[in-house]
Structure 1
Amino acid sequence: MKKLTFTLGTLTIVCLLAAGCAKETRVQQFWGTSYNLAKYNQIADLSAPVDHEPITGMEGAVSTKVMETYIQSFEGQKQEAKSYTIDLGM
């Protein structure tokens, strides 16, 4: 009789644990929600895929001058090769 009670008790505990683990937790329910909200809030124009109008902005002459200035800003810079020495004491 004692062994039967122990077995039924053990079986009950195992069933309760299995039922508790089978439920979806709050973390699992809302996994990725924060990421998707952050991504959605960073989209500037939500109707961009729908609108097929050409983009207007700076005129050609102005944008050409801006690009030339940007490209020339890198010509004056000189990149140096960095080298490191590690002394192992030998």
Structure 2
Amino acid sequence: MRGDLRDGGRARVAFPSTRDVLLVDGEADTFTAAEAPEAVAGALRAKYGWDPRGDGASYAFFRVRPRTVQAYRGEREMRGRFLMREGAWTV
């Protein structure tokens, strides 16, 4: 990773596929493996059976605080799909 997310502090995350999309734009906080909150690392370990903190210091954890959230099903629904704007829910 070049550090764009770490240096820029902003992120766009898309879930789960290109047909049924949830887009989240937000501010990103970065944690080194040593700084990662135990609750977060524990949840990752519980879900996937793996803790990246044990594999090396190069792993990072990110927390994205939503500022904008959009949801739509395919291209035909791209307009009017803001669920959150500027950190305030619209629905």
The answer to whether TM tops 0.5 is: no
TM range (shorter): under 0.3
The structure with the greater share of residues assigned to strand is 2
TM-score by length of 1: 0.15
Higher relative contact order (CA 8 A, sep 6+): 2
The structure with the greater share of residues assigned to helix is 1
TM-score by length of 2: 0.15
